[in-house]
Amino acid sequence: MKILSVDIGTGTQDIFLYDSDLDIENGFKLVLPSPTMMVHRHLKQTLHLRTPILLSGHQMGGGPSAWAIEEYARAGIPVYMTPSAATTLNDELDKVEALGITIVSEDEALGLPSDVQRLELKDFDFELLSKTFADFGVSLEKDLQAIAVAVFDHGNAPAGVSDRQFRFDYLDERIKAKNSLSAFAYLSGDIPQIMTRLQSVADSANDLPCPLVVMDTAPAAVLGANFDPVSSGEKQKIICNVGNFHTLAFRLGEAGIEGVFEHHTGEIDLQKLETLIRKLADSSLKHEDVFDDMGHGALMYSLEKFEFGKDGFDVVVTGPRRSMFAGQRSSDSLRPYFAVPFGDMMIAGCFGLLAAAAEILPELTDPILGSLRGGRGRGVAPWDVNP
């Protein structure tokens, strides 16, 4: 049994092909540029040609791709976008047009001159990944039981409502409905209408050979870090994921999620981050502590205090920018434990995706959790497995 898991961030897309016949450490993995970085690099490399461009396809991750598209428009180069692709920049299309970008229908796009450069936007490209694996002799068509994809989704906030506030209202609703990190994962047919980026992943992958599970990146990374052998042994813990674009910390206990905050990595330093973690621990953290500092926000569900240092560390840390915790430190700094589930921090989100898929697809539960909890498949050597 094989499951393809893809954790799509701002800097990288982290890919893990789970095979129930193999020990997890022998699973095939890739860490590649994220789709938004791929678009960014393509546009930066072609900017000097000043060729008009049509961006079609689907809503995808912004950040680098959005910055490059806006640079094209500022340079006076004609930029056309179909409505679905334009939501990559803003859900309110009049604000996209205010950037100097022309919104065109799918039919109008077909009628644009042949010299217009065309680029399709999408977060998840199964055909490209399938070809990449096939080039190494590994088929994604054979024995693939599920695909699990994680992206970060602010949600489609109504006009005049902050994206940051809208996201935290959504997080609050999901946690109260099901106090579990897997509450942020869905089968493709069950995605809430307001989660437009998750829906775009499903829309762009409508010919898959198996079920598709989608999930928010942040809970996926924390859930995956929880399979580190040290982290998994703690009944109460704080896990902090320092991503390239977003940093968040979940406080977890036996009953589930006790608190969470999320900030922009570029807006914080270690001192500010440790202050937020301490407030998360003593239950004094308030939403405005983060939101008013240009972060997304905070939620607390417990008034009890979390005690630091019971097992030689204070906070479990994961994420591609976890080195923030390795910088200059004082005697009263929090002591980090750097989680490495199955020996690879960069694939933590993929392990979280696998765990969520095990819950959503009951027929896959036993083999996945058997591997994640025991770390072993059936003891078959990789050279004895048909790719």
Q: What is the pLDDT of residues 92-113, one digit of tens each?
A: 999 999 999 999 999 999 999 9
Please tell me the predicted confidence (pLDDT) of residue 207: 84
What CA–CA distance (Å, rounded) separates 160 from 24? 46
User: What confidence score (pLDDT) does residue 385 get?
Assistant: 47
Q: Report the pLDDT averaged over residues 79-103.
A: 97
What is the residue extent of each domain of the chain? 2-33+144-221+346-384, 35-121, 233-339
pLDDT in tens, 258-276: 999 999 999 999 999 999 9
**CATH class for the region spanning 35-121:** alpha beta
Average pLDDT, the chain: 93
pLDDT, residue 123, reads 97
What is residue 380's predicted lDDT score, i.e. its pLDDT?
Answer: 46
- Phi then psi for 251, rounded to 5 degrees? -100, 120
Whether 121 and 55 have beta carbons less than 8 Å apart is answered as: yes
Mean pLDDT of 30-34: 97
pLDDT of 165 higher than 90: yes
| Segment 331-351, tens digit of pLDDT | 789 999 999 999 999 999 999
Q: What is the dihedral of CA 307, 313, 319, 320, to 10 degrees?
A: 140
Q: Are 19 and 386 in contact (CB under 8 A)?
A: no
Helix axes 217-225, 348-360, angle to 10 degrees: 100
Res. 206 pLDDT band, cuts 50 70 90: confident
Dihedral (CA of 307, 372, 14, 218) sign = negative
Share of the chain above pLDDT 70, in %: 96
Percent of the chain that is helix, strand, coil (3-state, to 5):
40, 20, 35
| CB-based contact 213:147 (threshold 8 Å) | yes
Domain 233-339 sits in CATH at 3.30.420
